[in-house]
A and B are shown apart, each in its own frame.
Chain A
Amino acid sequence: DTAVSQTPKYLVTQMGNDKSIKCEQNLGHDTMYWYKQDSKKFLKIMFSYNNKELIINETVPNRFSPKSPDKAHLNLHINSLELGDSAVYFCASSHRTGNTEAFFGQGTRLTVV
């Protein structure tokens, strides 16, 4: 069983389109995250949710809107996609805040053309 699963794994779309990436974790974790990894492999946190509530929004454009329907899901919707949005997006979860391990999904490679 996959602990943190993201779909789709690959996404190619045109500028201006709206797309969503889904994330589900079956670990019973309270906290979920979205990270963006650029072409240089720099991993940067975008959002952090705890018990379905937004905790961190790291100066992400408001074209990015996370939605957490329940503790096990954190989806990412992106409006009006731009070329600079091309990256690998990782969903992650952790049991609780603090010094705990974050489990990452396999990533979604988004390419905007």
Chain B
Amino acid sequence: TQLLEQSPQFLSIQEGENLTVYCNSSSVFSSLQWYRQEPGEGPVLLVTVVTGGEVKKLKRLTFQFGDARKDSSLHITAAQPGDTGLYLCAGLFTGGFKTIFGAGTRLFVKA
């Protein structure tokens, strides 16, 4: 069974704190994506990482793909209430037709 384990499942922090969300798998992915989902909406892509060891930055968000392309992390610096939402990692397999999602991390940033 192909699994993508995401942790933590829930995170409640104060504004200004830093946090890291992790996705781990025993499978090797051709790429890994991070999505953010708001209530009542579909997921929206934040970033795609393709190369092992790749690091991408999106303002206060830093995404890293593991060297072996089996894991990834999302680091948020100085979290803001606007960062509140459900963050999902998604691993894509070679061929591209199949994507598996992590269980999601529900982040709540208190003002």
Binding site for B on A (CB under 8 A): 4, 31, 33, 35, 40-45, 48, 50, 55-56, 58, 90, 92, 96-107
Q: Which residue of A lies closest to B101 (CB)?
A: A43
Contact present for A45 and B103 (CB under 8 Å) = no
**Chain A interface secondary structure, helix, strand, loop or mixed?**
strand
> Which of chain B's residues have a CB closer than 8 A to the CB of A55?
97
Contact present for B50 and A99 (CB under 8 Å) = yes
Contact present for B48 and A107 (CB under 8 Å) = no
Q: In the complex the two chains form, what is the Cα distance from A41 to B99 in whole Å?
A: 16
Interface range on chain B (Cβ under 8 Å from partner): 20 to 34
User: Which residue among B86, B97, B98, B101 has the maximum number of chain A CB atoms within 10 Å of its CB?
Assistant: B97
> Which of chain A's residues have a CB closer than 8 A to the CB of B42?
4, 90, 92, 103-107
Please give the distance in Å from A104's CB to the nearest CB on chain B.
Answer: 3
Binding site for A on B (CB under 8 A): 30-31, 33, 37, 40-45, 48, 50, 86, 88, 92, 95-101, 103-104, 106
Q: In the complex the two chains form, what is the Cα distance from A25 to B2 in whole Å?
A: 29
Contact present for A97 and B104 (CB under 8 Å) = no
A96's contact among B43, B96, B103, by CB below 8 Å, is which?
Answer: B96
A90-B42, A90-B43 given; 13 more Cβ-contact pairs under 8 Å: A31-B96, A35-B101, A41-B37, A41-B103, A43-B101, A56-B97, A92-B42, A100-B48, A101-B48, A102-B99, A104-B41, A107-B40, A107-B42
Contact present for B48 and A106 (CB under 8 Å) = no
